[in-house]
């Protein structure tokens, strides 16, 4: 987006919006680092600030249910169980859980099976795939590179990555550096894959199948031994072979 002219103002908080006689919206914002204030006119202002839970209205503390002091989300003790053993919560209202409808649906079904069906299967939040459906999609599942390093140490992590050009980019003469993917793996043994991240067309469709493979214990050895389907974006996942550690250029240059 920056390459196409979109200007991003980071660490800035809007504090005031005034509508001028000509219909323009004069936005005043403050830089959180320097404290300086700025103002500019805009034709449209869009707020994408997320949602707040309505837990303060429920008096949950009287039932023994603890909430996070800042987010007001419910603190879970054991999967969907709250600090009150007989009260459970699912979905976005739980602290540190993915704010995704399919996650809440699956967690609710598993909870019902445990409460009334004799099941002991718990919701696994670690390998939940999701996609940001921007014009260039971003699909992700598992640990980020940063979280993997934090959990296992940098010396124990290997990252395979590549820049690639989808077939439809060739006709439009779009640049290959717009599309990127990487696999975050353990460095030793068969290199168990901890996270997979894809930026490119149809990333959501691609990541769905690989997320199922990751739940089955996908390794880099099995990934790299898979024959890709040409010409697809998904084939680039199984063709990744350059590590960030090597410092080599990961750009795909041909078929």
Taking the alpha carbons at both ends of the chain, their separation in whole angstroms is 27
Give 226's strand partners: none
Using an 8 Å Cβ cutoff, are 177 and 124 in contact?
Answer: no
Distance CA 76, CA 98 (A): 13
| Strands 37-42, 25-31: pairing kind | antiparallel
In the residue annotation, 230 being an active-site residue is answered as: yes
Which residue among 4, 11, 86, 230 is the active-site one? Answer: 230
**Long-range CB pairs of 115-121, under 8 A, 24+ apart, other chains included:** 115/88
The beta-strand segments (E) located in 83-167 are 130-132, 138-142, 157-163
- Whether a cis peptide bond, with omega within 30° of 0, leads into 128 is no
Give 68's strand partners: none
Q: Which residues are catalytic?
A: 230
């Amino acid at each position: 987006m920056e390459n196409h002219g979109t200007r991003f103002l980071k660490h800035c908080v809007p504090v005031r919006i005034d509508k001028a006689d000509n219909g323009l919206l004069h936005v005043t914002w403050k830089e959180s680092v320097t404290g300086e204030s700025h103002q500019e006119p805009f034709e449209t202002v869009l707020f994408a600030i997320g949602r707040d839970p309505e837990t303060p209205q429920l008096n949950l503390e009287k039932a023994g249910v603890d909430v996070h002091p800042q987010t007001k989300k419910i603190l879970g003790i054991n999967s969907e169980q709250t600090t009150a053993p007989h009260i459970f919560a699912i979905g976005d209202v739980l602290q540190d859980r993915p704010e995704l409808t399919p996650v809440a649906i699956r967690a609710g079904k598993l909870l019902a099976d445990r409460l009334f069906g004799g099941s002991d299967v718990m919701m696994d939040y670690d390998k939940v795939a999701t996609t940001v459906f921007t014009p260039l999609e971003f699909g992700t599942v598992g640990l980020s590179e940063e979280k993997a390093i934090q959990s296992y140490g940098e010396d124990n992590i290997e990252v395979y990555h590549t820049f690639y050009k989808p077939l439809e980019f060739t006709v439009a003469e779009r640049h290959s550096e717009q599309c990127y993917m990487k696999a975050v793996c353990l460095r030793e043994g068969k290199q168990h894959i901890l996270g997979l991240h894809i930026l490119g067309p149809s990333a959501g469709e691609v990541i769905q199948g690989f997320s199922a493979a990751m739940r089955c214990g996908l390794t880099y050895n099995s990934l790299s031994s898979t024959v890709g389907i040409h010409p697809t974006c998904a084939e680039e996942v199984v063709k990744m072979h350059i590590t960030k550690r090597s410092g080599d250029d990961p750009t795909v240059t041909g078929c």
